[in-house]
Amino acid sequence: MITTEDRLEILELYGVQSHAVDGGDGEAWAATYAEDGVFESPTYQLTARGRDELRAFAENSNGAALARGEQFRHVVTGIVLDEIEEGRVRARAYMTILATTAEGSRVDRSLVVHDELVRVAGSWLFRERKVYRD
């Protein structure tokens, strides 16, 4: 059973991730993953494994956006959770990336994420994310 506390902690973790990645704090973003966390983007054939690679990925992608004059915002909605077993949860969500430049704001892209979260030492963390681009 996913308790109300678990559920709210996980929902908040998505918010923490967005603020971290869009704020250029790759370390805080990587810290939302388990030590052996994996981020996989089949559409980009990219995989980041472990916190060092995860941090580098977040910093590079945010840095590249800023270099183009774009402020990204990762807008996450439609989070649905299913328990796999005690301490392991599968999640699906929509992730819309907004990009704002001097010209204005637009929807940069629409993604669906499939996540697995685990409870490690009492806290929920992402173990695996697969990103699918519409």
Contact 40, 128 (CB under 8 A): yes
DSSP H helices, the chain, are 4-22, 26-30, 50-67
Q: C-beta of 117: minimal distance to its own copies in Å?
A: 15
Query: Closer CB to its own copies, residue 66 or residue 120?
Result: 66
How many angstroms separate the CA atoms of 19 and 119, rounded? 21
Q: Which residues in this chain contact its own copies in the complex, by CB under 8 A?
A: 4-5, 7-8, 12, 14-16, 18-19, 71, 73-81, 92-94, 96, 98, 100, 104-110, 134
Q: C-beta of 114: minimal distance to its own copies in Å?
A: 11
Q: C-beta of 38: minimal distance to its own copies in Å?
A: 22
Provide the token pair at 17: 């991730």
